[in-house]
Amino acid sequence: MGLNEAMNYVLFNNPVSSTMWSMASHGAKAVGLKPKAIAQNAATHSSAAVQQALPPLWKLLGHNRHIIRLAGLSGAVAVILGAYGAHYHFIPKEEDMQDRDPRQIFEVANRYHFIHSLALMGAPLARRPLLTTILMTAGTALFCGTCYYVAFTNDRSVVPLTPMGGLLLIFAWLSFII
C-alpha cells in the first residue's frame, strides 16, 4: 500500500472515518446543506493535496528533532545494555543460558514487546518512518517471538534468531537519529 492509498484509507475509507463522514453528511442535511456534494468532495479529495497540506512530521518538529534523536540513541543504548546485562554481566560463569527459567524468558520478551510497541507509536516522527517501522516490527517479531516460543515450548531451536531481532531493534532506534 502506497502513501497515497494509506492517506485515503486513513482519511476517508476506514470504518471510523466513513462513519464520521456519514455523520457529517446527516448533520449537513439537517441544516439544509447538500450532503452528497460534501461526501463526493471528501471521497474525491486528492491525496496529493493532503500531502502538500501536511508535511512530514519530522519537518514539523523543528528544533525538537534533537529530542527524537536523543530518544533514538537512548533506546539503542538500552537494548545494548539489556543484552550485555542479560548475557555477560550478571550470569555466573557456571550457569549456562540453557538453564534459564521459562518465566524469566517470557517476562523479558513481554517487557521488550510492550516497550517496542509503545516506541512504534513514535515511528511517524522519524525522518524515515517506513524504515523505522519495518526495523521495529521485524526486530520485535524476531526477538520477542523467539523468546515467547522458547518460553512456551522450551524448544531452543529458534534461539539463533533472537540476536538478529535484537540487532534490528538497535537499528530501529538508531534510525531515529538519521
pTM exceeds cut of 0.75:
no
What is the distance between the alpha carbons of residues 38 and 24, in angstroms, rounded to a whole number?
Answer: 8
**Whole-number Å distance between alpha carbons of 21 and 9:** 13
Q: Which residues contact 100 (CB under 8 A, 6 or more apart)?
A: none
User: What are the residue ranges in the chain where pLDDT is below 70?
Assistant: 1-54, 58, 89-98
pLDDT of residue 52: 59
Q: Burial code of 6-32, b = ≥16 C-beta within 10 A, e = fewer?
A: ebbeeebeeeeeeeebeeebeebeeee
pLDDT given at position 21: 64
What is residue 56's predicted lDDT score, i.e. its pLDDT? 72
- Cβ distance 7 to 51 under 8 Å? yes
pLDDT score of 59: 72
**pLDDT score for 65:** 84
